[in-house]
A and B are shown apart, each in its own frame.
Chain A
Amino acid sequence: MMYDVIVIGAGVIGANIARELAKYELNIMVLEKNLDVCEGTSKANSGIVHSGYDAKPGSLKAKYNVIGNVLMEDLCKELVVPFKRNGSLVLAFSESESATLKKLLDQGHKNKVKGLAILEKEAIIAKEPNINKNVYQALYAPSGGIVDPFELTLASAEVAFLNDVSFQFGTRVTHIYREDDAFMVVTNRGEYKSRTIVNAAGVFADDINNLISDTKYRILPRKGEYCLFDKQIGDLVTSTIFQLPTKEGKGVLVTPTAEGNLLIGPNSEFVDDKNDTSTSEEGIREVIRRAKQSVDNIPMPFVITAFAGLRATEKNEDFVIGEADDVPGFFNALGIESPGLTAAPAIAIEIAHMVAQKLEAKQSDNYIIKRNKTVHFESLSIKEKQELFLKDKNYGKIICRCELVTLAEILDSIKRPLGAKTVDGVKRRTRAGSGRCQGGFCSPKIVEILAKELGKDLREILKSSEKSTYLIGLDKDLL
């Protein structure tokens, strides 16, 4: 079988590109090495929709950030993805720090960011009463927002899937070579043939590019650690609170998430291992210390979990978007670090357009925009809850008590397009197990439901990856 396009990577970039490509009459395959979408860089990040003042004017980062910020709102509406334009503040604590705010403001104007303003202390505290009272001035960006990165990725992948894009999970690309006019993509699960390739492999995008192109890139994975807090304190701040950017990036932020938790992080540390998403004691301590500079009364007992993600920092520190000079038909979306999430809708349109032009593809007439809405039972009124129950009794059975997730929602997460196959897959789609008990009560139930739905034994059910089993045998097996 010959594909028109193979997209490597099902993160937020790959999934959005697949969705945009699906608007053309093309035969598309997405290859993902993990067992689910959004398992790499897209999984662990701040979920911020940046307004665009901090990218260098003239850079690709600036260009796609500002367009992406505008596109995001409608896209999230279309895909039914949690998004909120909550605005952002960059804090300055002295007059000298305020000089940097002015620079950011100028930069923002050059990048054509709308609505930027410098706020004085009183206005800041009126807006965010929990902020450190030593604040001097802040740069306010009303177009800043928050989005659920997983939902954005999943929804894009689902829509792509509904429009006949194929997905292969657990499929790792090991070699690429040319055969006549096509690419042969060699994986751990066999070879795939395609006329074009889109490289959206996150921190591994340099490795993929270097398999076939002589223009070599190098991604230096840069780790960021976070702490996530209970929803009980999700409204400690309403805007996204930044500190002054440094060489290492935008610094530690304090923000509500699109799901209503409070998030602090990330720090910044270059690491050698592209799989190293471990947290460290020093790292978390640094994140807490620096977050407290912005909001001094963060109640630490409400921490639910700590996690780390990797930024795909290319050594030239800008996005690499487009066809490789020496390999016609091979397109890169490489070096996509912050503001990559914001830029994703814009990058996707651009790449899809380039590929379609290359293949002289026509726009498809029967593109389906709508995905089946997912139900978020907890947020419904009593009346709405009862209405749903009357349609499906499984809405009466609560599986996750902390996040109030019903059996119906869990079954839907497994059965819907690109459904969950792992416990983390269910958790990320439904939030079951992501609350204050962290799955202590519901994970055994979810393991059981997955086993039943997938026709497997409890011992075969995985947390996320292929070796991440929960149970190794029956009682007394080892006696």
Chain B
Amino acid sequence: MEKRQLTCINCPLGCQLEVVIDKGEIVSIENYGCQRGIEYAKKEIANPKRTVTSILPVIGGELPMVSVKTRTDIPKDKISECMHCLKDLKVGAPVKIGDVIVKNIGNTGVDIIATKKVDKKND
């Protein structure tokens, strides 16, 4: 049996949910203010996921850097690995929003895509 405390993010109230877990299964959820708290706790315990955003250097672009993100959210415990995969990476100009920069980052099945347009530099 494990007791976990979560802050519900659905509203400014920020209920301090108390979740009891046994062998990965939720035994009880307490201290929720509304139904949305229960849904949130279930999701956060079963498979917490986050979208990761960062920036990467652009070679030959009109801007030095391009912002990127994971196309969808990835498991929370993969965030650090994802960032390490981005280290030392550079992108060639031009880049469009939605261009795939890294396929299947850190074996998450999720691609890293560009979130900004960077044209080629005119010299």
In angstroms, how far is the closest chain B Cβ from the Cβ of A478?
Answer: 10
Is the Cβ of B55 less than 8 Å from the Cβ of A479?
A: no
In angstroms, how far is the closest chain A Cβ from the Cβ of B69?
Answer: 15
Interface residues on A, range: under 10
Q: Does B84 contact A (CB under 8 A)?
A: yes
CB closest chain-B residue, reference A474 = B57
Q: Does A281 contact B (CB under 8 A)?
A: no
Residues of A within 8 Å of B54, CB to CB, are 475
A479 vs B85: C-alpha distance in the bound complex, in angstroms? Answer: 10
Residues of A within 8 Å of B63, CB to CB, are none
CB closest chain-A residue, reference B80 = A479
Residues of A within 8 Å of B86, CB to CB, are 476
Interface residues on B, range: under 10
In angstroms, how far is the closest chain A Cβ from the Cβ of B13?
Answer: 32
A475 vs B57: C-alpha distance in the bound complex, in angstroms? Answer: 10
Residues of A within 8 Å of B23, CB to CB, are none
In angstroms, how far is the closest chain A Cβ from the Cβ of B62?
Answer: 16
* Residue interface mask B60-86, A partner, CB < 8 A = 1: 000000000000000000000001101
Among B54, B55, B84, B87, find the residue whose CB has the most chain A CB atoms closer than 10 A: B87
A479 vs B84: C-alpha distance in the bound complex, in angstroms? Answer: 7
Residues of B within 8 Å of A475, CB to CB, are 54-55
Interface residues of A in 433-479 (CB under 8 A from B): 475-476, 479
CB closest chain-B residue, reference A478 = B87
Residues of B within 8 Å of A476, CB to CB, are 83, 86-88
A359 vs B15: C-alpha distance in the bound complex, in angstroms? Answer: 83
A475 vs B54: C-alpha distance in the bound complex, in angstroms? Answer: 9
Residues of A within 8 Å of B87, CB to CB, are 476, 479
Interface residues of B in 74-123 (CB under 8 A from A): 83-84, 86-88
* Residue interface mask A63-102, B partner, CB < 8 A = 1: 0000000000000000000000000000000000000000
A479 vs B87: C-alpha distance in the bound complex, in angstroms? Answer: 8
In angstroms, how far is the closest chain B Cβ from the Cβ of A459?
Answer: 14
A476 vs B83: C-alpha distance in the bound complex, in angstroms? Answer: 8
A476 vs B90: C-alpha distance in the bound complex, in angstroms? Answer: 12
A476 vs B55: C-alpha distance in the bound complex, in angstroms? Answer: 10
A479 vs B88: C-alpha distance in the bound complex, in angstroms? Answer: 10
In angstroms, how far is the closest chain A Cβ from the Cβ of B32?
Answer: 37
In angstroms, how far is the closest chain B Cβ from the Cβ of A445?
Answer: 14
Chain B interface residues toward A at CB < 8 A: 54-55, 83-84, 86-88
Q: For the complex of A and B, list the 9 residue pairs with the smallest distance between their C-beta atoms, beginning with the closest.
A: A476-B87, A479-B87, A479-B84, A479-B83, A475-B55, A476-B86, A476-B83, A475-B54, A476-B88
- Can you name 9 A-B residue pairings with CB atoms under 8 Å? A475-B54, A475-B55, A476-B83, A476-B86, A476-B87, A476-B88, A479-B83, A479-B84, A479-B87
